């Protein structure tokens, strides 16, 4: 079974649009981008396009590549104090000269629709999540919509990043899965992954996960966005070889990526609802 994130994202975006029309809310998402990295600019455009589809107003703050940490924090603080802005997204990665943690912490938790603020991370890990990071949140929506219940299952997450791997593990624990997190220092990686009922890869290595790493009948979620030696877009999973083994699998493209943006829209709407006490 192909877990079609593109189709599902359209369904979720339609729900967001309907809710906005029904409630009369005027949600607003502000993005902050530093420099002219083409990939970052593309991702920001995609987020603004999604806002336009569902009726969320979007504001873009563009800062030059030589901006200081203080410059970025100042821009964020202006958005924090603007009552018309409900969600703030700082596009990562930031230039290496900028203190990324300081910038993330400058976004007030109530507008942290990316779910990266330490307070929101703490709520997630305590089992009482508020805003969760959009990629793990989108994955949980995929599992729920396709009626894949993690409860009692063995889940393995490859990757321990703060934006995907760690919050993904926390969400799966909250959903009563038994979770193992693997990373670059894990020994006998294939032995660990081949035990997984649900296998999630978020390491950014093209076609790294082969059939020998996957248990027959496993659910495989591919977070990777890579390019192979021929420049072709692909995931972390060798899709053609793993699909016959898996009971369900996300493609790249068209899997997790669209759900990340849909979840961002959902988080922004939820923030607007809270600001309006709805």
Q: Hey, which residues are catalytic here? A: 47, 91, 114
* Closest C-alpha to 265, from 11, 35, 61: 11
Q: How many whole angstroms separate alpha carbon 31 and alpha carbon 38?
A: 15
Q: How many whole angstroms separate alpha carbon 212 and alpha carbon 241?
A: 10
Question: Which helix H or strand E contains 261, and what residues bound it?
Answer: helix 256-275
Q: How many whole angstroms separate alpha carbon 151 and alpha carbon 63?
A: 44
Q: How many whole angstroms separate alpha carbon 247 and alpha carbon 38?
A: 36
Q: How many whole angstroms separate alpha carbon 47 and alpha carbon 58?
A: 9
Strands 154-158 and 57-63: unpaired
């Amino acid at each position: 079974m192909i877990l079609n994130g593109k189709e599902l994202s359209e369904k979720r975006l339609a729900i967001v649009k309907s809710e906005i029309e029904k409630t009369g809310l005027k949600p607003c998402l502000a993005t902050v981008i530093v420099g002219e990295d083409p990939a970052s600019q593309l991702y920001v455009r995609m987020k603004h396009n999604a806002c336009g589809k569902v009726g969320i107003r979007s504001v873009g703050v563009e800062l030059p590549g030589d901006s200081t940490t203080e410059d970025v924090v100042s821009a964020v603080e202006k958005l924090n104090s603007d009552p018309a802005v409900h969600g703030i997204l700082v596009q990562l990665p930031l230039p290496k000269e900028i203190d990324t943690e300081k910038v993330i912490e400058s976004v007030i938790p109530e507008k942290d629709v990316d779910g990266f603020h330490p307070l929101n991370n703490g709520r997630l890990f305590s089992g009482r999540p508020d805003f969760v990071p959009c990629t793990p949140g989108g994955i949980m929506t995929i599992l729920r919509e396709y009626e894949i219940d993690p409860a009692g299952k063995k889940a393995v997450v490859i990757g321990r990043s703060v934006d995907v791997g760690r919050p993904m593990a926390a969400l799966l624990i909250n959903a009563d899965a038994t979770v193992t997190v693997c990373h670059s220092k894990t020994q006998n990686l294939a032995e660990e992954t081949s035990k997984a009922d649900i296998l999630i890869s978020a390491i950014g290595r093209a076609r790294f996960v082969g059939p020998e790493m996957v248990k027959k009948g496993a659910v495989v979620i591919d977070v990777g966005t890579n390019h192979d030696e021929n420049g072709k877009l692909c995931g972390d999973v060798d899709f053609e070889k793993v699909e016959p083994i898996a009971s369900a699998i996300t493609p790249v493209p068209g899997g997790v990526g669209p759900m990340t943006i849909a979840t961002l829209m959902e988080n922004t709407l939820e923030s607007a609802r809270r600001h309006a006490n709805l």
